A and B are shown apart, each in its own frame.
Chain A
Amino acid sequence: MTGAEKPQNGGKKMDRRDLEALYSTHAPRLLSLCLRYCGNVADAEDVLHDGFIKIIRNIDTFTDRGAGSFEGWMKRIMVNTALNYIRDNSKSRKLFEPEPAFERLVIVEEEDGYFESLAERIDPKVVMDLILELPHGYRTVFNLYVFESYSHKEIASALNCSENTSKSQLSKARHWLRTRVSEFMIKQEAAK
């Protein structure tokens, strides 16, 4: 087993070494995915654990459709597990909280290729931190739309909200992130 592929024999003959190989290969990337949804590492690790157990349990139902299909299948399971986690937690707190006040609103005129140029000057860890700072509802919709390529209709169905709510949450998430990115760059320029 190479780790990136589905384990042989439907996972029934996996031993500890195979499990470790599978976990080592895929866990870091999948934990990053879980972290984007959960907002903190502890919850993300819980979701990762549950998701991986589901993967092991249902690995014999996976149908190989070529390169990358196993990883895509695992990602889908993780996303669904994360959404279940969000739904469970939304019983105690509302997913779409009241809009935060934009006290530090900074409007930056974006030139063409602005974000492409940022890619060389900003660390991915900072980008992840920016996403983690997003309000809960913004982050969920942004993740589903941008990273999982969900449509607004699918997001509305998954989060039990209207399509307009999804659209507005995405718009506000983008606005929030633009502001934060601009702030970060202004601070970085000032530090120089």
Chain B
Amino acid sequence: MKQDMQPIDNFFRDMLSDHKVTPSDAAREAFLKDAESVVDKKRSPGKSPYLFLVIGLIILISGTGLYFGFRNNSGTKAVSPGIAKTAPAQNSSITPSEKSLRTSSPSPSKSVLITTTNSPSDGTTHETTQTHAVYSSGNHKTVTSSTPSGKPVSRTTKQNKQPDPQNNSNAVSSALNSSIPVKDAPTRKTAIQTEPEMPIAVNSPANSDGIKQGVNNPSPEAIVSKPAEKPAVKGESSTMKTVSKEEAKNETKENENNNTTEPQQKSSGEETTREKSHSATPGDLHFKAGVYYSPEWMFNTLEGEKYVNNFGVEGTYHFNRFSVRTGAGVSVTEGTHEVAISYNDYLGQYSQLDSITFNWDADHYNLLPTYYTTNKDVYDSLMKLENSRIKRRYTYLQIPLVLGYDFWTTERFTLGVRTGPIFSLLLSTRQLSGDYDPGKNRIMKVNDITPDRIQTNWQFMAGINFDLLLTRRISFEIEPDVRYYFNSVYEKSGTTRKPWSAGLRAAFLINF
């Protein structure tokens, strides 16, 4: 619309178009001081750098975990004790890592695998299978075996790190004759494969006899005890026999074949169950369910930082190292809803005359008026504006779908990463504080300053999960996480940037 400008308007506009007034020095200094603080606030690390820092940290930890996790899976040297213990409990057949221990020994082997298969008197071999795994570390060797009752037995052996040609034969002899006797074992078939360069001296009181006996034994090749050659009585120590290297290899292959065809043996006992629930054995599928509570601190909301309570029930399917978690939870948060109220001030009352009636006063010969009035409120015509804050409680339904990967597992602890979307649906809005009290003033108009909460919301979470097995059935999880909200929690999302939050989830879960 073109303005109706008159010459006087143009005159004033032209005259003052370049008019300048120099501000005072005090005003200048005051501005510079305040402006610098504003710029410093803008320059200081806001929420976004923190978000990137946390995400970067999670990625770093996850990457490290994945790296070591895969290395442990593919490597032949770093076999975690948990897995090694689990192997005899679940299957006496030789695992790939054990196979590699047997077959790949390009250098003087520091690892010796001793497989002792019980052979009861009835000829069946699958009932009492025993595996001895020897792990070397420096000058020490650890022999791990499991007894028929399922309890693992560890022994530590000492070896010379530098093979000395002169002492080698003695050491080897000692190793050969030590022969890992297990007194409580029944009749068995034992296969021991060693490298001649790496003698073993079993430093155990129980084996001292064996060491002495083997001092003068000149054949340091391999030791294979053959139950067929020497039938044993149940409860007797295993009999060891020294054979050539080729024989030992053949025997080992036979044992491998025998072991792989044996049915899987399930060991009973609490420890085995605990390991099963935690260790990543192939094909391990189990389910956890429980309750969780997760306080959450939200940023980038209109009211600044917000505290949110999340709690609910959830279930997690674990498949090997991977997991899927879902459930239903409630998210409760409080917020301030600001409204602008236009009102007219109350000024007072006046008596409005409704009607007048007159009665004839015969005594005084005049009319007596009777006034009928009503009190009327008087308001100022000037409209005033006031802001009012109302406290509200918002309750959301939360449905997560979180994928996980456990990259570090021990007997009691599990460390993993969790990530996935979370869907939120606004269930209810409850007003906590009272309404605005206008008094006697007249409210003319009420406008919402704070936009209403959005009905549905999507978030993406990422966190690190620490799982602690409290008992055989119950585990406790702690999970620090960050969440990014794909849309604002307000209906008018232009008023603020996308929110994000940091939280700490705690959960008690039952293992099924």
Q: Measuring CB to CB, which residues of chain A are less than 8 angstroms from any residue of chain B?
A: 11-16, 19-20, 23, 27-29, 31-32, 35-36, 41, 44-45, 48-49, 52-53, 56-57, 60, 91, 94, 110, 114-116, 118-119, 122, 124-125, 127-128, 131, 142, 145-147, 149, 151, 160, 174, 177-178, 181
Known: A27-B23, A56-B35, A115-B8. A36 touches B15 (CB 8 A): no
Chain A residues whose C-beta falls within 8 Å of the C-beta of B42 in the assembled complex? 11-12, 57, 60
Q: Mark B369-409 against chain A: 1 for CB-CB distance below 8 A, else 0.
A: 00000000000001110000000000000000000000000
Known: A11-B39, A14-B39, A19-B35. A147 touches B16 (CB 8 A): yes
Known: A19-B35, A94-B382. A128 touches B3 (CB 8 A): no
Instruction: Contact check, A178 vs B16: say whether CB atoms are below 8 A apart.
Output: no
Chain B residues whose C-beta falls within 8 Å of the C-beta of A44 in the assembled complex? 21
Residue from A48, A115, A178 with most neighbouring chain B CB atoms (10 Å): A115
| Cα of A178 to Cα of B6 in the assembled complex, Å | 11
Cβ of B19 under 8 Å from chain A: yes
Cβ of B364 under 8 Å from chain A: no
Chain A residues whose C-beta falls within 8 Å of the C-beta of B16 in the assembled complex? 32, 36, 124, 127-128, 131, 147
CB distance from A15 to the nearest CB of B (A): 8
Instruction: Contact check, B32 vs A23: say whether CB atoms are below 8 A apart.
Output: yes
Chain A: CB-nearest residue to B3: A149
Cβ of B34 under 8 Å from chain A: yes
Instruction: Contact check, B39 vs A12: say whether CB atoms are below 8 A apart.
Output: yes
Instruction: Contact check, A16 vs B383: say whether CB atoms are below 8 A apart.
Output: no
Chain B residues whose C-beta falls within 8 Å of the C-beta of A32 in the assembled complex? 16, 19-21
CB distance from A32 to the nearest CB of B (A): 5
Instruction: Contact check, B8 vs A52: say whether CB atoms are below 8 A apart.
Output: no
For the complex of A and B, 6 pairs with smallest distance between CB atoms:
A28-B20, A115-B11, A45-B27, A127-B15, A31-B21, A115-B7
Chain A residues whose C-beta falls within 8 Å of the C-beta of B5 in the assembled complex? 146
Known: A11-B39, A19-B35, A32-B20. A48 touches B12 (CB 8 A): no
Q: Mark B326-345 against chain A: 1 for CB-CB distance below 8 A, else 0.
A: 00000000000000000000
Chain B residues whose C-beta falls within 8 Å of the C-beta of A31 in the assembled complex? 20-23
Instruction: Contact check, A35 vs B21: say whether CB atoms are below 8 A apart.
Output: yes
CB distance from B511 to the nearest CB of A (A): 51
Partner of B11 from the list A16, A49, A118, A125 (CB cut-off 8 Å) is A118
Instruction: Contact check, B43 vs A19: say whether CB atoms are below 8 A apart.
Output: no
Within 8 A of A (CB), among B212-248: none
Cβ of B77 under 8 Å from chain A: no
Q: 26 A-B contacts, Cβ less than 8 Å apart?
A: A11-B39, A12-B42, A12-B43, A13-B43, A23-B28, A23-B32, A27-B28, A31-B20, A32-B16, A32-B20, A49-B30, A53-B34, A53-B35, A53-B38, A115-B10, A119-B15, A122-B15, A124-B15, A124-B16, A124-B19, A125-B19, A127-B19, A146-B13, A151-B3, A177-B8, A177-B12
Main secondary structure of the interface of A (DSSP, over half): helix
Chain B residues whose C-beta falls within 8 Å of the C-beta of A29 in the assembled complex? 18-20
Instruction: Contact check, B21 vs A56: say whether CB atoms are below 8 A apart.
Output: no
| Cα of A132 to Cα of B20 in the assembled complex, Å | 15
Chain B residues whose C-beta falls within 8 Å of the C-beta of A53 in the assembled complex? 31, 34-35, 38
| Cα of A1 to Cα of B245 in the assembled complex, Å | 84
Chain B: CB-nearest residue to A117: B11
Partner of B7 from the list A15, A35, A110, A147 (CB cut-off 8 Å) is A110
Partner of B12 from the list A16, A35, A127, A151 (CB cut-off 8 Å) is A127
Partner of B23 from the list A48, A91, A142 (CB cut-off 8 Å) is A48
Cβ of B24 under 8 Å from chain A: yes
Known: A14-B39, A53-B38, A160-B383. A19 touches B23 (CB 8 A): no
| Cα of A31 to Cα of B102 in the assembled complex, Å | 89
Number of chain B interface residues as a range: 35 or more
CB distance from A145 to the nearest CB of B (A): 7
Known: A115-B11, A118-B11. A52 touches B383 (CB 8 A): no
Chain B residues whose C-beta falls within 8 Å of the C-beta of A27 in the assembled complex? 22-23, 28, 31
Instruction: Contact check, A20 vs B32: say whether CB atoms are below 8 A apart.
Output: yes
| Cα of A177 to Cα of B6 in the assembled complex, Å | 12
Chain A residues whose C-beta falls within 8 Å of the C-beta of B6 in the assembled complex? 174
Instruction: Contact check, B11 vs A119: say whether CB atoms are below 8 A apart.
Output: yes
Cβ of B1 under 8 Å from chain A: yes
Cβ of B14 under 8 Å from chain A: yes
Instruction: Contact check, B21 vs A28: say whether CB atoms are below 8 A apart.
Output: yes
| Cα of A160 to Cα of B19 in the assembled complex, Å | 29
Task: A11-B42, A19-B35, A127-B15 given; name 19 further pairs at CB < 8 Å.
Answer: A13-B43, A19-B31, A23-B31, A27-B22, A28-B21, A29-B18, A29-B19, A31-B23, A32-B21, A49-B30, A57-B38, A91-B384, A110-B7, A115-B7, A124-B16, A128-B16, A147-B13, A151-B1, A174-B8
Instruction: Contact check, A52 vs B20: say whether CB atoms are below 8 A apart.
Output: no
CB distance from B46 to the nearest CB of A (A): 10
Chain A residues whose C-beta falls within 8 Å of the C-beta of B13 in the assembled complex? 146-147
Instruction: Contact check, B15 vs A52: say whether CB atoms are below 8 A apart.
Output: no
Chain B residues whose C-beta falls within 8 Å of the C-beta of A178 in the assembled complex? 8
Instruction: Contact check, B32 vs A146: say whether CB atoms are below 8 A apart.
Output: no
Chain B: CB-nearest residue to A87: B385
Chain B residues whose C-beta falls within 8 Å of the C-beta of A16 in the assembled complex? 32, 36
Chain B residues whose C-beta falls within 8 Å of the C-beta of A110 in the assembled complex? 7
Instruction: Contact check, B24 vs A146: say whether CB atoms are below 8 A apart.
Output: no
| Cα of A20 to Cα of B3 in the assembled complex, Å | 37
Chain B: CB-nearest residue to A13: B43
| Cα of A27 to Cα of B26 in the assembled complex, Å | 13
Chain A residues whose C-beta falls within 8 Å of the C-beta of B10 in the assembled complex? 115
Instruction: Contact check, B31 vs A145: say whether CB atoms are below 8 A apart.
Output: no
Instruction: Contact check, A19 vs B32: say whether CB atoms are below 8 A apart.
Output: yes
Cβ of B437 under 8 Å from chain A: no
Chain A residues whose C-beta falls within 8 Å of the C-beta of B19 in the assembled complex? 29, 32, 124-125, 127-128
Instruction: Contact check, A56 vs B22: say whether CB atoms are below 8 A apart.
Output: no
Chain B: CB-nearest residue to A27: B23
Chain B residues whose C-beta falls within 8 Å of the C-beta of A15 in the assembled complex? 39
Chain B residues whose C-beta falls within 8 Å of the C-beta of A91 in the assembled complex? 384
Cβ of B435 under 8 Å from chain A: no
CB distance from B42 to the nearest CB of A (A): 5
CB distance from B236 to the nearest CB of A (A): 83
